Structure 1
Amino acid sequence: MIKKLGIPKEVKKDEGRVSLIPEHITQFTGLADIFVETNAGLGSGFTDEDYQSAGAKIVPTAHELYDISEIICKVKEPQEQEFELLNSSHVIFGYLHLASNLSLTKMLIEKKLTAIATEMIMDEDEYPLLIPMSKIAGNLAVQKGMQFLEYSSAGKGLLLSSISDERNSKVTVIGCGEVGKSSIHKSIQIGAFVTAIDVNENILKELKNKYGENISTHISGSDEATEAIRTADLVVGAVLLPGRKPPIVVTQEDINQMEKGSVIVDVAIDQGGCVEGVTPNTHSEPFEIRNGVIVSAIANLPGAVPKTSSIELSTNLQKYVDNLLIENWFEEYSKSENLKPSLQIHSGLLLSEEVAESLSLSLSKLV
């Protein structure tokens, strides 16, 4: 039986990405009818005509797309204006980050639909759909930090990049996974001195061996780490616990001790944030100022570069869509060690241990 897969236009504020680009949907011919909401790809540089040429059918409204489609292939989690469009026959396939969103989780449970968090798909102990967005976010964290340090943004008026042999700017990166490593590499490339903070000594040793005198490393929670946070020009919070809320690694007291005009970019905001008291920002209102320190927590940071992000996302996402297009897809999906962690809600049941623990909800198991 041919499945019906819908690609909606993202409605999250300042979100221009699209889940699948035209060149990646042709492979599903014969397996699924592809429906694309009009202008869904426009923010990423793909027109309705591009999708039609690839074999998709363009529908004029979100209501019609959701009514027709069984599988809703999204970038970001459903927004409030989309809630009424969802029903129990839907399979939502996208970045959900439920561990920081109690109201969304409860709504998805009440709808009795199936919700698959693509950020939790695994392949040989890695998260192939999280890695490309993490690398983009790590680069953008430094790029945004450079912008916010400018005088016009109420920053301290410091050029993060080096124009001489003097390294006159300091970047502290907390959490050295894919986001952190990308931020570290970008910062060193432009000539900043970097301090890396992590709980894993082996990762810190690898970074020290790679970058030598351009980097210092400290174990998270140490006095040296605290000092590195408080004296930095730019702090990048890049802590990630897959599927769970991250710990608070930058406190309000840390912020109070920082020089006015310094910048903090919390890249962990999609999972709840790693800066004390942080609330999500948008690309159009990208930061708040606390005690003279700029704190930015843009929830969909890779959305700043939707064309780059959509191509990277679609390139990886396409490899997993066909798992939903076979007749007994749920039985096979739920038995796969790599795919099962992403199957978070089904028929009113919360199946994710990480989400249940983070939100203090009851965990269910499939029988």
Structure 2
Amino acid sequence: MIIGIPKEIKDQESRVAIIPGAVAELVKSNNKVLIETGAGVASGISDDDYRQAGAEICDKASDIWQKAEMIYKVKEPMKEEYKYFRPGLILYTYLHLASNEELTDELIKNEVTGIALETVQVDGKLPLLRPMSEIAGRMAVQEGAQYLTKPKGGRGILLQGVPGVRPANVVIVGAGTVGTAATRIAVGMGARVTVLDVNIDALTELHNIFPDKIETLYSNPLNIEEAVRNADLVISTVLIPGARAPQLIKEEMVKQMKEGYVIVDVAIDQGGSTDLTKGRPTSHSQPTFVEYGVIHYAVANIPGAVAMTSTYALSNATTRYAKAICDLGLRRACERFPELIKGINTYKGFVTYEPVAKDTDYEYRQLNIDQ
């Protein structure tokens, strides 16, 4: 198969989908890998590194898109890339279609096979989303701590405090992969940490990991309102695989927060998990907006800021399935790795992942891959 890796064009998206070691694996099994000039530079990977691994370097993105049978990306295609869509093209990337009806429309209209990394599931877990969730959770605290400082417009609070002065109160909504990673960093930085979730087992696990270091609360509207009202930094991590995120943090709750406090919405890729960030993603160029005096950080590609770490973590997770698709074809790859089936969000003009169909008002069609 011919695999194409175009350079990412989303605002300050510095990651690239593949590392040289993965290129060598694909080439070894008689696949052809096309990589756009400079695609890996921001992640510390030169064109020569890719050439030595067996890739062919192309000067134009159009050559990549037109020649490749499978496009292997990090982020969802931008509008400028829709013109390259065609029937039978396999797109292997993070798609987040539930919050992007325009992209869904284009994939359906052009009969593109859209494989969403974020919905591949193994025993209810998301192995291809997990490494980026780990990074986003860690960075959420790091970014939130910056925006609590005066030069960034915050109230002027040091996250860990000093002797005689209380540390910041960090509230984390969600105890999944992102929430756990955020908790680890917030505790490590010396903050007072409260974690909310409806999953008592997840809260118990966090309590056992951080005994006497955190407070855990069952997630309901009353507890969320009280926690948010008293928070210096709120990190919202709510995730329903492939579906739009629910808005658990309401506008009225934000109004009760003090000026200069911060909300970080890590679920913005799935549409946003607060009333005020819903459908309002920010970028690394303009990472925040202010409502009711509260700073909202809603960057849709948080891990892109640490591209050298993120690229290797991402490629390590996704290469196995990319190689299976290229070596075996899509049908046999799904037979070998059934978890790929839930990753296929669009196929031959239909939405084949039910949560996306529900959120985009498309008819859901059960996947039936041709022989």
Q: Give the TM-score normalised by structure 2.
A: 0.95
1:12 to 6, 10, 15: 10
Distance in 2, matches of 1:164 and 1:238, equals 31
What does 1:250-261 align with in structure 2 at a 5 Å threshold?
250-261=249-260
After superposing the two structures, state which structure 1 stretch, 131-140 or 195-204, moved more.
195-204
CA drift of 1:163 comes to 3.4
Distance in 2, matches of 1:366 and 1:340, equals 8
**Contact preservation (8 Å) 1:162, 1:190:** no
SS in 2 for 1:338: helix
**Contact preservation (8 Å) 1:334, 1:343:** no
SS in 1 for 2:82: helix
Distance in 1, matches of 2:337 and 2:251, equals 42
Instruction: Look up the match of 1:64.
Output: 63
**Contact preservation (8 Å) 2:345, 2:352:** yes
Instruction: Look up the match of 1:318.
Output: 319
Distance in 2, matches of 1:176 and 1:360, equals 30
User: How big is the alpha-carbon RMSD for the aligned residues of Structure 1 and Structure 2?
Assistant: 1.5
Distance in 2, matches of 1:83 and 1:313, equals 24
Give CA-to-partner distance per residue, 1:33-64, whole Å, 9 cap, x none: 00000000011011111100110000001001
Distance in 2, matches of 1:34 and 1:241, equals 34
Alignment CA distance shift 1:35-1:328 (3 Å):
closer
Distance in 2, matches of 1:129 and 1:353, equals 19
Distance in 2, matches of 1:308 and 1:327, equals 30
Distance in 2, matches of 1:63 and 1:222, equals 49
CA drift of 1:311 comes to 0.6
Distance in 2, matches of 1:212 and 1:325, equals 46
**Contact preservation (8 Å) 1:167, 1:191:** no
CA drift of 1:68 comes to 1.1
Instruction: Look up the match of 2:163.
Output: 164
Amino acid at match of 1:15: E
What does 1:115-264 align with in structure 2 at a 5 Å threshold?
115-164=114-163, 167-264=166-263
Q: Percent identity?
A: 38
Give CA-to-partner distance per residue, 1:84-140, whole Å, 9 cap, x none: 122113100011111111111011100111110011222343211111100000010
SS in 2 for 1:35: strand
CA drift of 1:213 comes to 2.3
SS in 2 for 1:212: coil
Amino acid at match of 1:297: A
SS in 1 for 2:338: coil
Amino acid at match of 1:301: I
Gap runs ≥5 in structure 2? none
Q: Give the TM-score normalised by structure 1.
A: 0.96
**Contact preservation (8 Å) 2:207, 2:214:** yes
Amino acid at match of 2:202: I
After superposing the two structures, state which structure 1 stretch, 186-195 or 352-361, moved more.
352-361
Distance in 1, matches of 2:333 and 2:33, equals 22
SS in 2 for 1:107: helix
**Contact preservation (8 Å) 1:169, 1:233:** yes
After superposing the two structures, state which structure 1 stretch, 293-302 or 314-323, moved more.
314-323
Alignment CA distance shift 1:38-1:251 (3 Å):
same
Distance in 2, matches of 1:215 and 1:327, equals 47
Runs of 4+ with deviation above 4 angstroms: none
Instruction: Look up the match of 1:276.
Output: 275
SS in 2 for 1:224: helix
**Contact preservation (8 Å) 2:232, 2:261:** yes
Instruction: Look up the match of 1:27.
Output: 25
Distance in 1, matches of 2:100 and 2:322, equals 25
| Residues 1:351 and 2:349 are matched in the alignment | no
Instruction: Look up the match of 2:301.
Output: 300
Alignment CA distance shift 1:165-1:72 (3 Å):
farther
Give CA-to-partner distance per residue, 1:242-296, whole Å, 9 cap, x none: 1111111111111100011000000000001101031100011001000110011
Distance in 1, matches of 2:198 and 2:95, equals 26
Distance in 2, matches of 1:93 and 1:361, equals 21
Instruction: Look up the match of 1:338.
Output: 339
Give CA-to-partner distance per residue, 1:50-84, whole Å, 9 cap, x none: 10011000000100111111110000001001111
After superposing the two structures, state which structure 1 stretch, 263-272 or 212-221, moved more.
212-221
